[in-house]
Amino acid sequence: MILFYLICCEIYSVLLIIFSTVNLNLPKIVYIALGSNVGERFEILQNALDEIFLEVGDVQQVSRVYETPAWGFSGNAFLNACVKVSTRFTAEEVLQKLLKIEANAGRKRSDSKNYQNRSLDLDIIFYEDKVIKTESLVVPHPQMQYRKFVLMPLVDIAAREIHPLLEQSVSSLLSTVEDKAEIKLIAKTLSLPKHSFSSHQFNYIAVEGNIGAGKTSFTSMVSQDFNAKLILERFKDNPFLPKFYENKERYAFPLEMSFLADRYQQLSDDLAQYDLFKDFVISDYDVFKSLIFAQITLPEEEFFLYHKLFHLMYKELVKPDLYIYLYQDTGRLLENIKSRGRDYEQNIQPEYLMEINKSYLNFIKTQTSMKVQIIDISGKDFVNNRRDYLEILKEIKAQKAPQPPKGE
């Protein structure tokens, strides 16, 4: 019975990939203003920029830094800048992260409506072209069009961005602003935080993992962040599937062969079509998973034949430079499965997940011709915690890409 359950769950997991990828959490662009007029102002802005990278998203552009007089009160001069950030978090989530960064920099907010000195001030100026108005957040920033110290650095990186309410570009708003404050450009420039992961490190990465490990989410995020061609396992109507339900012993072999054929065809097509506009390829599966599940479902004699046929097909495929297995502990897998709410998965037992993990690890131990990396993601939430995501990328970076033989 467990063999039947294994293959059914594999099929259902593949089927749902198509539907889950329709609603991928695509990155959004947010523009953030930074200011400081207390302490080591420039260092505070640089630290804030680094924290934004770690907590909010990729910092794509940073403006020059301007010194400006205090606006609306008598106080020390500010250093101001603006940054363009690609983030997967909602505007409200970004706000909460910015407030945390402010607090860590020593910012103490008060209930007073009067302006005052502050070690760090972080404001969301634009979030895509959205208009947001809640008790805690108003976007676009309601005062931006009146503030030269916001518009000048914003023009550096977003001159053509259109204010969704005023229907004017940022450069147009700056040209008509009535604020006459004297703004001085300083010589020092903020450093743009960068990933340790290099998009040119590998040509082809295959990512595998147990049910609920998040391999599709991870590969999708990497493809978006590093301009990679994304290959997601597809599912086609399988004529052997209903027959397998009726007679597992008779139809297990043709069912596994049909899955192998489809995976082979997809990888052959996708890997043969070189994309000039992408830097590398990443997939959320490797065809070797066919061997893993076939070994579970097929009797010894049939698996022996399957093994021969597999290697005849496999030798024609482009091999990944790196095979990554995302290891997640069973308890967390069950939590992930429960939280994503797929009805057919809710009865998955811990023993089943442990069996899959054992099969993958046994397979990995036998690999000598493929560069394999096991990344323990137990206790990590790389979808909702950007630091976890960056830590995984750092581990991949530590792997050296295979070198071609001498003379090539």
Q: Given this chain, do its domains 28-185 and 196-398 carry the same CATH topology?
A: no
The class (CATH top level) of 28-185 is alpha beta
**Residue 22: beta bridge partners?**
none
CA distances from 342 to 15, 80, 242, 354, 357 (A): 12, 47, 21, 20, 21
Secondary structure E strands in 98-247: 121-127, 132-133, 138-139, 184-185, 204-209, 228-231
Q: Are strands 228-231 and 280-283 parallel, antiparallel or unpaired?
A: parallel
**What are the residue boundaries of the structural domains of the chain, listed by start?**
28-185, 196-398
- Torsional sign, CA 61, 65, 70, 71: negative
* Active-site amino acid positions: 284
Residue 34 belongs to what H/E stretch?
Answer: strand 28-36
pLDDT at 408: 40
| pTM of the complete model | 0.84
pLDDT at 18: 39
pLDDT along the chain (408 residues), means of 10: 47 42 74 95 97 97 95 84 98 97 84 72 97 96 95 98 97 95 95 84 91 91 94 75 73 87 90 84 91 85 93 90 93 81 68 86 85 93 95 87 48
Question: pLDDT tens across 132-177, in order?
Answer: 999 999 999 999 999 999 999 999 999 999 999 999 999 999 999 9
Specify the CATH number of the domain 196-398.
Answer: 3.40.50.300
pLDDT at 136: 92
